[in-house]
Amino acid sequence: MAKLGENRYGKSRVRLSRITRHGDRHDFNEWTVQVLLEGDFETSFTEADNSKLLPTDTMKNTVYSLARASNAETIEAFAMELGDYLLANNPQVSGACVEVEEKAWERMIVDGAPEATTFKLGGPEVQTAHAVRDQGREWSVRSGVDGLVILKTTKSAFTGYIKDKLTTLKPATDRIFGTRATATWDYAASAPDYAQVRSRIVAAMLKEFAAHHSMSVQHTLFDMGKVALTAAPEISRIKLTMPNLHHLLADLSPFGQDNPNHIFVPIDEPHGYIEATIER
């Protein structure tokens, strides 16, 4: 006999752009929102009874309507505002999970000064927020950054590893280190300044990556996590995922040429995959 297990439903990939107009400048945000609800929905699965379902199209419209009136300055604040609204207006909903991604638009610099109404995309990375709350409980918020593409051309090595009959990798004492890093962190304190915390964490990790004399991706990942914890006392832990996006030395010998670490072939598949959580 079959019975319904854990379930939830919602709306994903709800995209919106927002202009906030000030007297002398505009602010611009581009968000992608996902809403997932848990609750008393069993009969919709087992008895084809939709009487307790809020249409996902209504969820989409709710995102736009709340964004219109919202004063939220961060994706974390908007995620909680949206979740609170859905929980307050739907007693059949026991819990809400809201995720928001924000593209890295930044104000354009023209003749050395920030331009009031013109923006450029700062990079491929997106800021992320993941907010979860059950009825009658407090929010649990996780923030992060996804797709932070960084590379260094030196101060990276990999030696001393296990070698068996299938090992072909040669030791490297000076190699390219490239990655597309993802970081997420949990907060030790409630209601921090989310934007400021994110700025401090990312700045600290980038500075460490640049200066670090890496003996492995694992080595650099851990030290980046350590400096993030130091830079942001508001967080309790940080999880880092850092694929090793390889740049392989091109073989120019068939052409009678040497290659003193000059020409490389970038590949992203297959790649090494390293992740860890660094805690206090």
**Which residues participate in catalysis according to the annotation?**
11, 56, 246
- What is the chain's Cα-based Rg? 23
Burial 222-231 (b: 16+ CB within 10 A, else e): ebbbebbbeb
**Residue with token string 């007693």:** 91
Contact 129, 76 (CB under 8 A): yes
CA distances from 55 to 44, 52, 59 (A): 12, 9, 7
Q: Is 277 helix (H, G, I), strand (E, B) or coil?
A: strand
Contact 120, 130 (CB under 8 A): no
Q: Enumerate the β-bridge partners of residue 9.
A: 37
Could you write out the DSSP letters of every residue in 27-43?
Answer: EEEEEEEEEEEEES-HH
Alpha carbon distance 154, 272 (integer Å): 18
- Ramachandran quadrant class, 273 (left: phi over 0; alpha: psi -120 to 50; beta: rest): beta
